[in-house]
Structure 1
């Protein structure tokens, strides 16, 4: 059967993710890998251990984990500073004052990643494999989400911004053409630069022919009822439901190839 919930193989102890194919043993209410079928039906002599290929465990990561840790760290550090400086009034000061924007921005980012990560996890299957919150080598930055699908690899940056995303083109006949990403009146072009850097990191781990796509997914932006999504400098700008449809499209990559790429990326980009 295809598992509704994640489980653990009773024979080899491997983690079996939700929607994976497995054998469900109703009598003991346990599950086991499909590869243990011969052993279960007595095809092997009693006492003889089957040759089992244990699948490599992949750490899928936790959406928003590093951003939430940074928020909690900054919040705790501020609280400690105020209580040390004002032993008697520290509690009152904390109760009537808010965390600075530089701290709450981490919480906002974590919420956006967690919301999008939850939606992505509902799509998980043999042809849509996901990784969350991955560390980039030699950098303090991280990749929010990676999706390996039949149409390629998607490097997804989640943003919880207000306002309507749009692209503005400057220049033309007498000046070099340049594209700027706007969210409302806010210039967010640097977000595109960030995604392009992440795309290059992912490409460096894979075969040159493997298609890698950059995505900016705005989870709470003011999108129009019709249209709205666009591409700027080969980076998709869209909303969650639009992204889900794109990830579910049919493509040339097989389930085995997707699984191999997924393992390669998980090893090359550890969970943050």
Structure 2
């Protein structure tokens, strides 16, 4: 029996990742036209959806994600963190395999060289997950390659509030301190502010050329997994905020773009020609998912050993107490 689609929370969209229909189990490839069930966080194919229900949830034709499936290589379907995932896997491929002893005690499979790339990917994936909450009227592109030197922009977001470049920075457990011209991580100076500002200027220049009219771009740095973020003084040109605040902050911006402008700029931003027709390699997302599972399993094993070591003195004391009770009881 086909269940009805919810009146407000279901959305028709082009899948960014492969998926499986919740009702019939059919496999759906990336780019497939499907219904996203926001309350369940699942997808269903159009064949399992009545025609009248599809029309009920269809977004206006002017919205980016309701256009016809784009030609191969268009950037709107590029997976988040594609560039850093590809780099992480390439560097990790040179890492020696762990011995059984290392696996037994939970040593991380990551090499020293691949760890920064792996953590960078986690940051970009978390930002992309939150950007999915923006809803209709907004478009988000991820891992947008620019030029021929292999550089990319973590995220480009276009909506009523304007155009934004978002640079995700994963600093797990770190202390981040921000002043007007400095951003420190655990007391160490970084180039985050300078790089974010340069990135936004570059994107603004290329979008301006493509649109043939001025396009302003706001640089944003989204801090992921930090223990503390202290804004001593807000930078003049770059927005720095905790990643959890990102969707609401974007939605709270005063409207500066009409719906048609958002659509036009989104289409231009999704075209490789806008960025100089860079090469767009596709990462092995399955291999990265497997690596991520292995990293989590190793971490859990280390935590298990740490807990066992913490409890072992208490276990020895309990055994000694039981022995004394048996002897003198």
Residues 1:34 and 1:168: Cα distance change in structure 2 (over 3 Å)? closer
1:4 pairs with one of 6, 10, 13? 10
Structure 1 residues 164 and 61, CA gap change in structure 2 (3 angstroms): same
Structure 2: gaps (5+ residues)? 1-6, 15-30, 38-45, 62-66, 282-329
Q: Which runs of 5+ in 1 are unaligned?
A: 37-53, 83-89, 170-178
Q: Residue 125 of structure 2 aligns to a residue in which SS? A: helix
CA distance in 2, matches of 1:56, 1:205: 24
2:54 to 13, 31, 35: 31
Deviation sequence 1:59-110 (CA, Å, 0-9, x none) = 232112221222122222223xx6xxxxxxx745874765332211111111
Say which structure is richer in helix: 2
Quote the offset at 1:3 in angstroms.
6.8
- Alignment match, 1:181: 183
Please tell me whether the aligned partners of residues 230 and 236 of structure 1 are also in contact (alpha carbons under 8 angstroms): no
* Match of residue 60 from structure 1: 77
TM-score, structure 2 normalization: 0.58
* 8 A Cα contact 1:205 1:264, kept in partner: no
Instruction: Report SS of the residue matched to 2:95.
Output: helix
Residue in structure 2 matched with residue 199 of structure 1 by the alignment: 200
Match of 2:292 in 1: none
Between the aligned partners of 1:130 and 1:184, the Cα distance in structure 2 is 31
**Deviation digits for residues 238-271 of structure 1, max 9, x if unmatched?**
1123322221023121111101101111112476
Aligned residues: 227
Contact 1:113 1:158 survives alignment (8 Å):
yes
- Aligned-residue RMSD, C-alpha: 3.6
Per the alignment, residue 262 of structure 2 pairs with 258
Residues 253, 186 of structure 1: alpha-carbon distance in 2 compared, 3 angstrom cutoff = same
Asked if structure 1 preserves the Cα contact closer than 8 Å seen for 2:160 and 2:255, the reply is: yes
- Per-residue deviation at 1:212? 0.5
8 Å CA contact retained: 1:24, 1:31: no
